[in-house]
Structure 1
């Protein structure tokens, strides 16, 4: 009985060794135990190990005991010969196995036909014409259809994975220089070394010529390096040209923008000149009517010439009404103060009245007011809910009978905060009102006080400080009302002022209450000056920035700051012209800012005054929108109340705001000439 022999091998690697050796259907690896146990050869297939050790194992398919015995025998022989050199028989079998029968050379990219004959890819492609749809096996003549016409179809034939793996392992052994190998140049089998450059093995004789070849290639490396330098020179020159054109494009774009800005600048300057001309014409017209009324009033003879008393009374009433109308017109003149909106690059008429309904409504009002007890609002969350649930219905409201165009308001830190001080701009004095009885108890005035605006106190010194917008200074009074001194004068130097408005007192940079400093909004100079209350010496200045490169003038981050408040750890400034609230540390470091131009929630239209409560919540007099907005210290909106109107709880222009220790909120309204306490 004819027996079929086959090599033992791993599953899936099934080359046909000879035409009379069928494909193996064995599903096990008889040498797996040996492969795992011998670390030296664990990366090489069993067939290669057998060939290299001279123990090639063959077995019959119909003898299971023989298979087991063969396996045992193979293992023992292999273990004994792992370090032995391959004999001529095993190397001959391996060379025949890896040799292409067409070119008689080592297989390259072996492709296996369905008949299991294997050839080089390039050799098979040489047998195929460009229009061929099949390839004939050179050995058995089997016609193999091709999916793709021509040589490209040969590429799609399956590779002989087993022989491919043998070639790979053999190449690895050659690279490692392990054992005798065949010289790739003279084909001599013996001791050979692998070249790491070309990945080929050379004998000792051929190594010298190979090294000479490598040396001969060094000039080509120099040529390549020289070419690389030349290429790099061209590339950097091209890159320089690109960057040069880039700068030209930038300069051109900047010039276009500058020209556009110049056009806008000219338009804005024309608009500013028009506003100035309109203002001057309006003042001249008003002065003319005042002079005419003065002449009429000064003619006492005309009054005496009237015989009937009723006609005299009628004439007096007419003159009185004319005079009152003129005085009211004078008091309201220049309320619409022009400011420059840098974000939108336009002139904004701050103070222009808006019709009711144009501004977003205040938050809903609850029926019952909460108890205003500081002990009940000792945390940010409880204070938040207090403001959210508060009705904001005014408990007290003073009108024109007591006040004429009030500005700033503040509560004295002495006498249990009974007295509130209100700057009366029309009367050029500060009114002191008892909050319990709501009666005028005192007045602060001075011959050189022209337009009192902001009010602050020093509890330690028992002094009152009043900014004078038109006299450009700070007046100092004692708690009893005695005029003491003047701080500063008109100018732009440190310690001088230009139309100062807001003022407050607070701790110095060290945060200690025993050191009281004055924080003054130097509105006309677009800065905030921190000064000593005794002599007006400047401690430091907020808002002044270093000049831009190439410029000599310093910059300012404020645009007419009008309101200021100080808590235990920060300074809050109402930046009137920029429509923002800005916060700083007590040392002058910028912390945050919030707000923008508009009527929506959290936006401002001319924020003129600001106050902070005992937990640092910020109350902003959004004057142009006729409302008050309350924020957390981080700028998160909490509540809005107010709205445009003259009825209780409504405003025309919020000109001053103060918060007492018992959570009373006092708001002055210059256009309604009123004070409301919530």
Structure 2
């Protein structure tokens, strides 16, 4: 961007405006992500956000101990501001800043004095011994195209104000002046001042190499952006085509259903007509017999009531014969018909299931490559399983929520409601709350097809039963021997210190597989924590004690062993890189800078046997377990005792040799006992809330919390780590 602006006359509008206040930069400061803002804007932004995020790219920023004032000044922007001011001052109508005259004459700019001078004052300025060597930029240079690149404000030493910064101490990584090389940075084993030009040349070569590396990466990203844009341009046409195909397909299905409906209604009409004709014929036949019998009845009755003896004798035989014939005649009086009705050859509920398979959205999802990770489940808690939808190349791929169906059954085949939520591209969270323990069945389908290994067996545990146990006694991969400090990195992996194996072992937090192992130095390894960069800090006491920082791969980076330290036990790392260590021999907690230097000692004279520490950074309160006092003490980071809680005993809220401690996101304090293995939760003020568990072996030696809401407890005598559902 700078190179682009170097030849632009409107650089001050495009480049010299703070993105926050939209005004010209005032004291511009550079964040680690290389975005620049006014110092005041960053100060105000920092008061609103913890942790601080860059207002432009949202990268999380760890400020130096001095806060915003500790950030580097953007001197390139300052130079451009100076240049803009000098160029404006050199225009006609602007007076000399020395004699306040010569409005129309040409001007020059002194980089040392930061003033604009007319020709006369410039000549005098160059004659004075104190300013004859100053760097003066002429009006011609200011107006020239390359003027900005030659325009630089001189930097002077903060300690020796009149001396310009001319050297760079490579050991201290600091810019120094000539006086500094004599006083504070004298050449020797501790200091190595080198001329700035020499170091800058090497740095420029390094940056030039980086620039060359950036170009292919930029092209790769730009190509990727174009590919995304191409796909975005195809998105609406693809939607319209799929919509058209869907409508045509289902219109055809609807047409078939309507045709079938018409056929069945026609069958009903035809059957009704046929049955009606048959019934009409039957009715006519029966009515014919009815008429004959009724007529004979009437004739016979009239003969009896009104006929004379002579008449009776004349027709009697005929009537008798007719009636007897009618009475003895065999008649089929049954209708031989029953009501017809519609028959559902396919039940609606069954058809509803089949309808779900009538078509679908074909994407690049390869169901055979989709993965489901079932996390430990506990009765009564919200539990989750994670689905990753994959494409044919085995990479996470986005699909729509309608393409995914989930179904869970408890051991009694009752439905357990599930909810589906997209976390990010291709990653989904299936949540549910099991009401009973036992093996549940979770079915997961994508595009109506079963995901590999679906349905999954989900073991739901009781509340105080570990949902997952990792490790057993031994020294092999996946085995543990005397696990102590435990921590969880940002990916949810679990790192545990093994006292007797003298190593750190990292486990997958979901299934418990061992991911990596690295040996650690020190006689008696104890605590572990991970900093914001994913580096491990491990403590050890006894012989060769200290704090050691290891890379993610387990390489030793550096060792901290300040004079104030004697017996480091538990450790916690704050977001800004500061460390708090419980020192059992010092009987105090040490608040240390990121470089290991002491800020202050906390709890001296009040603690007897501090073991583990945890900090509630929202309140700047430090909690430390005192093994001998059977208590937890709370101090502010200035070293003042806030309160304590606990006391020896077996009842709720009492403790037996409290060992490990952890503060959750809500500020609740979790404490594990070495004396009886109980793990208890206390409120922000130390009030007992609940008991979570009693661990294997009766010795809770380390506590950590996973991002998914599980509590990890190291079991020293059980030689394992247990995962309990915490929230």
Larger strand proportion of the pair = 2
Q: TM-score, normalised by structure 2?
A: 0.35
Q: TM-score, normalised by structure 1?
A: 0.37
